A and B are shown apart, each in its own frame.
Chain A
Amino acid sequence: MTALQIDTLDVWFGDGYDRVDAVKGASFAVAEGESFGLVGESGSGKSTILRAITGLAPAWSGSIIVEGMALTGRKRNRAFYKTVQMVFQDPYASLHPRHTVDQVLSETLTLHGLTDIDTRVMKLLDDVGLGGKFRFRYPHQLSGGQRQRVAIARALAGEPDILLLDEPTSALDVSVQAEILNLLTDLRDEHGLTYLMVSHDLAVIGHMCDRLAVMKEGEIVEVMTADTLRQNNAQHPYSRELLNASIVA
Chain B
Amino acid sequence: MSELTLRQWLLTDAPTSRRHARLASLYQGWLTLRGNTMAMFGLGILIALVLMALMAPLLAPYDPFVQDLSNRLQPLGTEGHLLGTDSLGRDILSRLIYGSRITLYIVALVALIAPVAGLLVGTVAGYAGGWVDVVLMRITDIFLAFPRLVLALAFVAALGAGIENAVLAISLTAWPPYARIARAETLTIRSSDYISAIRLQGAGPLRIITKHIWPLCISSLIVRVTLDMAGIILAAAGLGFLGLGAQPPSPEWGAMISEGRRFILDHWWVATMPGLAIFTVSLAFNLLGDGLRDVLDPKDDNR
Contact = CB atoms under 8 A, between A and B. Distances in A.
Contacts of B193: 88-90, 93-94
B14 A141 contact: yes
A94 B200 contact: no
A89 B13 CA distance: 25
A55 to B, nearest CB: 8
A56 B196 CA distance: 8
Nearest to A111: B201
Contact of B197 (A86, A97, A138): A86
Contact of A98 (B198, B200, B215): B215
A102 to B, nearest CB: 6
B16 interface: yes
B17 interface: yes
Interface string A133-164: 11011101100000000010010011000000
Contact of A140 (B197, B198, B202, B301): B301
B196 A138 contact: no
B15 interface: yes
A97 B216 CA distance: 8
Most chain A CB neighbours (cut-off 10 Å) among B13, B18, B194, B198: B194
B18 A102 contact: yes
A199 interface: no
B201 A158 contact: yes
B15 A112 contact: no
Contacts, number: 80
A193 B185 CA distance: 37
A78 B201 CA distance: 8
Interface in A200-232: none
Nearest to A84: B200
Contacts of A137: 13-15, 21
A154 B202 CA distance: 13
A54 interface: yes
B200 A136 contact: no
Contacts of A98: 215-216, 298
Contacts of B21: 100, 102, 136-138
Contacts of B17: 136
B18 A81 contact: no
A30 interface: no
B21 to A, nearest CB: 4
Given A93-B193, A102-B18, A138 B25 contact: yes
B201 A100 contact: no
B212 interface: yes
A88 B14 contact: no
Contacts of A85: 200-201
Contacts of A7: none
B203 interface: yes
A240 interface: no
A23 B174 CA distance: 46
A35 interface: no
B196 A108 contact: no
Interface in B16-74: 16-18, 20-21, 25
Interface in A73-128: 78, 81, 84-86, 88-90, 93-98, 100, 102, 107-108, 111-112
Nearest to B204: A111
A90 B194 CA distance: 10
B201 A81 contact: yes
A93 B25 contact: no
Contacts of B298: 97-98
Interface in A40-56: 54, 56
A151 B200 CA distance: 12
Contacts of B194: 93-96
22 contacts: A54-B200, A84-B200, A85-B200, A86-B196, A93-B193, A94-B196, A94-B197, A96-B198, A97-B216, A97-B298, A98-B216, A102-B18, A108-B198, A108-B201, A111-B207, A136-B15, A136-B18, A136-B20, A137-B15, A141-B13, A151-B197, A154-B201
For the complex of A and B, the 7 pairs showing the least CB-CB separation, nearest first, are A94-B193, A136-B15, A136-B21, A81-B202, A93-B193, A88-B193, A96-B194
Given A136-B14, A140-B302, 7 more contacts: A54-B200, A81-B201, A90-B193, A107-B201, A107-B211, A137-B15, A154-B201
